[in-house]
A = this chain, B = another copy of it.
Amino acid sequence: MTEPLLSWRAGAIRKAILGFVEAVTTRGPHFVPPAERIAVFDNDGTLWCEQPVQAQVAFAQARLKHLVRTNPGLADRAPYKAFLSHDLTAIKALGKRGVFEVAFAVHAGMTVDNFIRSAKDWLAEARHPRFDRAYTDLVYQPQLELLDYLRAHEFEIWIVSGGGSDFIRAFAETSYGIPPERVIGSTVRTQVLDTNGHLDLFKLPHLESFDDREVKTETIGRTIGRRPILAFGNSDGDLSMLRYTLSGPGKRLALLLHHDDADREVAYDRDFVLSPLAEALDHAELFGLKRVSMSRDWATVFPAVSEAAPVKRIRRRGF
């Protein structure tokens, strides 16, 4: 293996990560068997950029533009109007859960399989409004290296996100090497329907689980059935799972990404209503969380993108 964590600057954080992984993977007092090396990562704002809004919100906007063609009445109705006109103030006024509820509900009636195809198609074409890159080129390079490093040390890596599971599953394997069954996210209710003897799962408009705050910990218990030994988040929505991770026996590591880099990304914390960071930041030391400073700890933020290989235009399969 080449030198790990090349995009992480030397300092207390890089040292803490390397020290933790060495301790739990070396035979000795802190050794943890591979099967118990569970690592959980938040997605939006932890593994990729979530500003000015989470990618899933932009995806829902595109879906709404499609729906309004056959149902023009939607265009003047709240909250769809805010989404369609990209009125960020009105969108943010809905609050985190409210925004995601709309973002999830607009795909009701699709099969899960078609939803994932549609999300893949959108991700292949969409460009981020500020960085003018594909959203999947706005994953964080240091985190890709951390995932590789953990995998090389036989960690089992999970995403535990407030975003929709199926949306994340559309790119997590390609972008992060994380397979669908290691993605925990918010879900809408689904229904099995029989069409001429063929069974499919259809999305309903009702929120089933909004995977935020304490619910993240509860879904970790339900789905993984083991307490993680490493957790990485960036907002108060991650605080419960970070503290749950630290509450087990033996060595543990909980990391909190602080977006303090206005030059290379966006500087924000307590005022971002779609995913505020305040309590976890104010009490990081009390809770034993290690604050990762984007400006101080990351030598690079985004991966290099070859300009010689522009985003491939693919046939839209429709929403």
Contact = CB atoms under 8 A, between A and B. Distances in A.
Interface residues of A, number: 37
B244 A217 contact: no
A218 interface: yes
Contact of A192 (B166, B190, B244): B244
A205 interface: no
A146 interface: no
Contacts of A35: 179
A240 interface: yes
Nearest to A215: B192
Interface stretch (A47-55, A59-67, A195-203, A300-308): A195-203
Dominant secondary structure at the A interface = mixed
A98 interface: no
Interface in A232-272: 240, 243-244, 247
A247 B200 CA distance: 8
A180 interface: yes
A201 B217 contact: yes
A224 interface: yes
A225 interface: yes
Contacts of A224: 180-181
A113 B197 CA distance: 42
A201 B218 contact: yes
Contacts of A37: none
A245 to B, nearest CB: 9
B192 A225 contact: no
12 contacts: A113-B227, A165-B222, A180-B225, A181-B224, A190-B218, A190-B222, A191-B214, A192-B218, A192-B240, A200-B247, A201-B244, A223-B223
